[in-house]
Structure 1
Amino acid sequence: MLFFIILAIIFVEALWEFVLGELNRKSWSDSVPERLKDVYPEDKFQKQKAYRIANYQFGLISSSVSTVAILAVLWFQGFAWIHNIVSYTTESWLWQPLLFFAIIGMASTLLSLPFSVYDTFVIEERFGFNKTTPSVFVTDLLKSMLLGAIIGGLLLGIVVWFYNWAGVFFWLYAWGGLSLFLVFFTKFNTTLILPLFNKLKPLEEGDLRAAIEAMSKKADFPLDNVFVMDGSKRSTKANAFFSGFGRNKRIVLYDTLINDLSTPEIVAVLAHEIGHYRLKHTIRGTILGVLQAGLTLFLLGWFVNHPAISQALGLEIPVFHIGLLGFGLLYAPISAVLGLGMSILSRRQEFQADAFAARYAEASALQSALKKISAAALSNPTPHPLFVFFNYSHPPLLKRLEALDNLKQ
């Protein structure tokens, strides 16, 4: 019964995403919204529609292949087969789960690699976004795999070690260890991880930095670290983000953002990012992440050794890494609900950061910046409300412009 429940969860999840995607596709406007005609001329709007269609069709194929692959592995008891290989290779209680998930991770990477190559070098290239060279692509892939092996292996090893050391209360110790890692990663991501992939340099002295410093002083924000990142190394799309806290907080601007926007627009975008810090969104997000990890591990502690989970995946005797995998598949609906709550909160925080930016910079400059960034990325200006509700971490562009209008009034 549990085996068919797992299959049903995967199938229903895929079907639901297809329904949402179809609703979103049918909501695409045939004409440029009046509010966006200054940044979306007709030829660019038609290019945006072609880009949306290409991505939608590609997403259907890639998600279908992924769904069929996992269903096939489950149906033919592929995870039990991998476990048998691992158990013949080593009898170590630590190395068995590490090797088991390493094989699954490698298989997943190989399965997704052709789609990643097509997305980068065909779709993104066709619409003028791609700046990634084959050598950069391969280097990024190898670095990501190495980091995934080190960080993922370390975290999994901590959980497995606590499981064998603490018994039924392993989840509590694992929660403490993973929470420390989450805080560490949030604090040091832009100082330790990001530089492995991109070059960061301090924003040079000049009119732009002077304008940013004036705004940050007005917003009572200690401006220590503003960096420019070589985003143009991979794409023409523009972005900015805030990361870290304490002395390690950083604002990062893509070089493409500096090239595409005026000084008041860049200042407004940075005011939005500072708003996330001043309104404590980063800290709250970290706390929520820690609490969510605690809930997940608590439930894992209850169910990981249940014989039915391992039996559903083809083993008669409970095995920790099989139970962990089965729990992850069964946990998907709960994860989706928690993710929905986080998306709702994230959209609310984006409105709050926009309001903060309107207070300490120019609301009209932020509106202009948002329109330019959206048009440059060929973003969909008319997504379906239901698709937004379940999938968007940011409010749609037109909703953000409308909210800023109300603030200006």
Structure 2
Amino acid sequence: MDDFTPEQVARGRALRRAQLPWALGARAAGLLPLLLLGLTPAGAGLVGWAGDLFGGSRTAQVLAGVALLLLLGELAQLPFGARLRVIRREYGLITQGWAGWAVDLLRGLALGLVLALPVGYGLYALTDRSPEHWWLPAALLAALLVPLLSFLFPLLVEPLFNRFTPLPEGELRTALLDLAARDAIRVREVLVADASRRTTALNAYVSGLGATRRIVAYDTLIGTADPREVELVVAHELGHVKHRDVLTGTLLGALGAAVAVALLGLLTSWQPLLDAASATSAADPRSLFLFAACAAVLGALAGPLQCAASRRIEARADRHALELTSDPEQFIAMQRRLAVTNIADVDPPRLLHLLFATHPSAAARIAAARVWSAGTPGPRVSG
């Protein structure tokens, strides 16, 4: 904690305390309405009503129900997201206006519809064909869909929300490409994302698989951090590639999707749940909100486990950055800059950290760098 001034520590804690009730509220707003609609006849009634607006056929019920499900989810969480945005703007983290935010919400909703409507239609086509064993082909298709989306995401989805420009020729671009080459990692290009039109936060990442892989840095990072600090951030992201975290995460995501579909098949075949939802079977479109409620519960239960795995992966990427650069001093300087600029709570309460944190805390990452330095021949880190 000596790495941060009392004012910096207090500011991070104040932001966390201001955001926490609204962040938890957003999670509750995403789950509780689904439980209410999925475990009562109300959800079945909404699906029937939405389907009647478009002719009342089974297909109309499925497609209109999926669209209504997404719209209600957005509306339920909208007040909490707006309040979080106000808080972050008060702390100087948000630069985007309300109009831009609304456009992003509409883009996200449109993208959700593009993905969810075919998935919903395919799901109920499978349940109609085989009400008891639909989950077997559905699990296989879900497992195949995850890597496909992972490959297409940087090409089709990321450009919808950010503009990317090649990092100009110069010392920094050369240093980043040399860093990747030294790590024996092939990258397609180095891009700068125009994150500053939304936020002042600093970040970088490596996205894509194979031919689509590229280093992406926020323009806020390029414009404010020292070049060596940018290298350290990118070295961390290259660690994910070196350890095949993207590939492993994609494969585990595919496996998780298949397991989730199998569990959904088990849950939606349980008669008491179907009775509660006023659905005759999983093939009944009126079971749509029951599917969504079960999926939301499974996601909530898996969340802490996913966070724990993420923290281990991020800690390993930190070690990789230290090994690749042999520069713990600049690594610590980079962690300080990230924490202060992003107004992070550098040492959050343990329970919150275990439940929700995807990265080690700033204090833990700096301490780990000092431990690494103490056990490595060469210059030692002071302080």
Same fold (TM over 0.5): yes
- Deviation of 1:157 (Å): 1.7
Tell me the C-alpha RMSD between the 2 structures: 2.5
1:149-164 → structure 2 map (5 Å cutoff): 149-164=113-128
Quote the offset at 1:353 in angstroms: 0.9
Question: Partner of 2:81 in structure 1?
Answer: 116
* Residue pairs, 1:88-99, within 5 angstroms: 88-89=52-53, 90-99=55-64
Distance 1:75 1:183 in 2: 32
- CA 1:331/1:189 → structure 2, altered by over 3 Å: closer, same or farther? closer
The one of 348, 370, 376 equivalent to 1:405 is: 370
What is the alpha-carbon distance in structure 2 between the residues aligned to residue 348 and residue 253 of structure 1? Answer: 23
Distance 1:327 1:182, change over 3 A: same
Q: What amino acid is aligned across from residue 408 of structure 1 in structure 2?
A: S
**Structure 2 equivalent of residue 12 of structure 1:** none
2:377 alignment partner in structure 1: none
Q: Which has the higher contact order (CA 8 A, sep 6+)?
A: 2
What is the total number of aligned residue pairs between the two structures? 372
Query: 2:287 is matched with which residue: 314, 323, 338?
Result: 323
Residue 209 of structure 1, aligned match among 173, 177, 182: 173
- Counterpart CA distance in 2 for 1:240 and 1:296 is 31
**Equivalent residue number for residue 276 of structure 1:** 240
Q: 1:1-400 to 2 correspondence within 5 Å?
A: 33-37=1-5, 42-59=6-23, 62=26, 69=33, 73=37, 77-89=41-53, 90-120=55-85, 122-315=86-279, 320-330=284-294, 334-361=298-325, 362-400=327-365
Is the 1:257–1:266 contact (alpha carbons within 8 Å) kept by the matching residues of 2?
Answer: yes
Q: Is the 8 A contact 1:304 1:320 kept in 2?
A: no
Q: What percent identity do the matched residue pairs reach?
A: 25
Contact 1:162/1:170 (8 A) holds in 2 = yes
Unaligned runs of 5+ in 1: 1-32
Instruction: Return the offset for 1:116.
Output: 2.4
Does the Cα contact within 8 Å between 2:52 and 2:61 map onto a contact in 1? no
Residues in 2 aligned to 1:248 and 1:407: alpha-carbon distance in whole angstroms: 33
CA distance 1:331–1:109, shift in 2 (3 Å): closer
Letter aligned with residue 65 of structure 2 = F
- Structure 1 stretch displaced more, 191-200 or 378-387: 378-387
1:387 maps to amino acid = L
The verdict on how the C-alpha distance between 1:62 and 1:284 changes in structure 2, with shifts beyond 3 A counting, is: closer
Report deviation, 1:333: 5.4
| C-alpha distance 321-396 of structure 1, shift in aligned 2 (>3 A) | farther
Give the whole-Å Cα distance in 1 for the aligned partners of 2:32 and 2:287.
Answer: 22
Deviation at 1:354, TM superposition (A): 0.9
Mapped partners of 1:151, 1:94: distance in 2: 16
In structure 2, the partner of 1:9 is: none
Post-superposition shift, 1:219? 1.2
Runs of 5+ consecutive residues of structure 2 not aligned to the other structure: 375-383
